[in-house]
Structure 1
Amino acid sequence: MSLAKLFALIQYPLPHHLLSRLVGYLADCRSLWLKNTLIRTFIRVFGVDMKEAAEPDPGAYATFNDFFTRALTNDARPLGEGLLCPADGTLSQYGQIDRDHLLQAKGRRFSMMELLGGDEKQARRYRGGSYANIYLSPSDYHRVHMPLAGTLTEMVYVPGRLFSVNAATTNHVPNLFARNERLVCHFDTDQGPMVMVLVGAMIVAAIETVWAGQITPLPRGDVQRMRFDALVRLEKGQEMGRFKLGSTVVMAFSEPVTFTDEIEPGAKMHMGQSLGALKYS
Structure 2
Amino acid sequence: MSTPAAPSLLDRLSTNLLRILPQHLLAAGMHRLARAETPWVKRLLIEKISRRYGVDMGEAANPDLDAYPSFNAFFTRELKEDARPLADNAILSPADGKVSQIGAIDGENLLQAKGHSFDLTALLGGDKQAAHLFENGLFATVYLSPKDYHRVHIPYGGTLTSMVFVPGDLFSVSEATTQLVPNLFARNERVICHFDTELGPMAVILVGAIFVGSMETVWHGEVRAARGQPTKWTYQGEQQAVFAAGDEIGRFNMGSTVIVLLPAGAASWSTDVTAGSSVRMGQALATPLIGR
Task: Give the structure-1-normalised TM-score.
Answer: 0.97
Structure 1 residue 26, shift from structure 2 partner: 0.5
In structure 1, which of residues 11, 16, 33 is the aligned counterpart of residue 40 of structure 2? 33
Counterpart in 2 of 1:77?
84
Q: State which drifts further: 229-238 or 53-62.
A: 229-238
> How many residues were matched structurally?
280
- Given the alignment of the two structures, is residue 210 of structure 1 paired with residue 242 of structure 2, yes or no? no
- Specify the SS of the correspondent of 2:19: coil
Distance 1:169 1:183 in 2: 20
Q: Which amino acid aligns with 1:245?
A: M
Equivalent residues in 2 for 1:8-23 (5 A)?
8-23=15-30
Counterpart in 2 of 1:99?
107
Distance 2:112 2:84 in 1: 27
Structure 1 residue 5, shift from structure 2 partner: 2.9
- Given the alignment of the two structures, is residue 263 of structure 1 paired with residue 273 of structure 2, yes or no? yes
- Specify the SS of the correspondent of 2:187: coil
Counterpart in 2 of 1:253?
262
- Specify the SS of the correspondent of 1:177: helix
Task: Give the structure-2-normalised TM-score.
Answer: 0.93
Q: Which amino acid aligns with 2:270?
A: T
> Deviations 1:144-189 (Å, cap 9, x if unpaired)?
0010001111100101010000011101100000000100111000
Q: What is the root-mean-square deviation of aligned Cα atoms in Å?
A: 1.3
Q: Structure 1, unaligned stretches of length 5 or more?
A: none
Equivalent residues in 2 for 1:212-231 (5 A)?
212-216=220-224, 218-228=225-235, 230-231=239-240
Distance 2:37 2:13 in 1: 36
Distance 1:43 1:2 in 2: 25
Counterpart in 1 of 2:61?
54
Structure 1 residue 277, shift from structure 2 partner: 1.0
Structure 1 residue 2, shift from structure 2 partner: 4.2
Distance 1:70 1:130 in 2: 30
Q: Which runs of 4+ in 1 moved over 3 A?
A: none
Structure 1 residue 233, shift from structure 2 partner: 0.7
Distance 1:11 1:115 in 2: 21
Structure 1 residue 222, shift from structure 2 partner: 1.5
Counterpart in 2 of 1:135?
143
Q: Which amino acid aligns with 1:210?
A: V
Structure 1 residue 10, shift from structure 2 partner: 2.1
Distance 1:37 1:59 in 2: 11
Q: Structure 2, unaligned stretches of length 5 or more?
A: 1-6
Q: Which amino acid aligns with 1:272?
A: G
Q: Which amino acid aligns with 1:101?
A: N
> Deviations 1:100-119 (Å, cap 9, x if unpaired)?
11000011000010000001
Distance 1:231 1:269 in 2: 29
Structure 1 residue 45, shift from structure 2 partner: 1.2
- Given the alignment of the two structures, is residue 280 of structure 1 paired with residue 282 of structure 2, yes or no? no
- Given the alignment of the two structures, is residue 234 of structure 1 paired with residue 237 of structure 2, yes or no? no
> Deviations 1:120-145 (Å, cap 9, x if unpaired)?
11101001210000000111100000
In structure 2, which of residues 45, 51, 65 is the aligned counterpart of residue 44 of structure 1? 51
